[in-house]
Amino acid sequence: MDGEILGRFLYLALLLAAVGGWVIVEFRQRMGQTLRLGMAWGLIFLGVMAGYGLWKDIRRDVLPQQMVTQSGELILPRAEDGHYYAHITANGTGLQVLADTGATNVVLSPRDARKLGIDTAALVYIGQAMTANGVVRTARTTLASLSLGPFQDTDVPVWVNEADMDVSLLGMDYLGRFRIEIDGDRMKLRR
């Protein structure tokens, strides 16, 4: 053990001894009740730790994910915010995007564009788009590959937004390649 780890260990040991000594002195008349209470809090703490550790697995089961049916259609479940999110693979990199039937184009946030290896500083922002936040400048580029579930496309035109966005948009110039059906809380895409 190096000096820093030994110091931390000694500090925690002294803290545990001080708190443990106080508990013994304070609750010496009710030691059984104190031990039961300590065990209950220990189990609560372990349960919280287990829930935190298993959250990714639980979330997959509780929160629906996109899926492909046996007939080959892609199902996107409606999220709690009322939107439909899709997991795509673009240029070999996975992204979570909003399937937006109100958007004209596929629009990448600057963060997602950089994640895909696009040099946003080298783009020429000559396009304009009307958004809920006003007019923004955009730059056109092309994705070598885009996969949505079992569907794969090449040379997909996209626009990179100059302003920050919370999530990239999968607009109608790409979604128009599909037959779209919204049935309850599910968006079905098929070709």
pLDDT of residue 57: 67
Q: Nearest Cα to 147, choosing from 96, 87, 105?
A: 87
The arithmetic mean of pLDDT across residues 96-112, rounded, is 94
Low-confidence winner among 28-42, 88-102, 144-158 (lowest mean pLDDT): 28-42
Whether pTM > 0.85 for this model: the answer is no
The CA distance from 167 to 103, in Å, is 13
Q: Is the per-residue pLDDT at 76 higher than 80?
A: yes
Mind giving me the DSSP string for 59-126?
Answer: HHHHS---EE-TTS-EEEEBPTTS-BEEEEEETTEEEEEEE-TT-SS-EE-HHHHHHTT--GGGS---
Q: How confident is the model at residue 62 (pLDDT cuts 50, 70, 90)?
A: low
Contact residues for 123 (Cβ-Cβ < 8 A; gap 6+): 139, 141, 160
Length of the chain: 191
Task: Express each pLDDT in 31-56 by its tens digit.
Answer: 888 788 888 988 998 888 888 877 76
Q: Name residue, tokens 């550790």.
A: 53
Q: Nearest Cα to 165, choosing from 91, 90, 89, 113?
A: 113
CA quadruple 119, 120, 126, 131: dihedral sign: positive
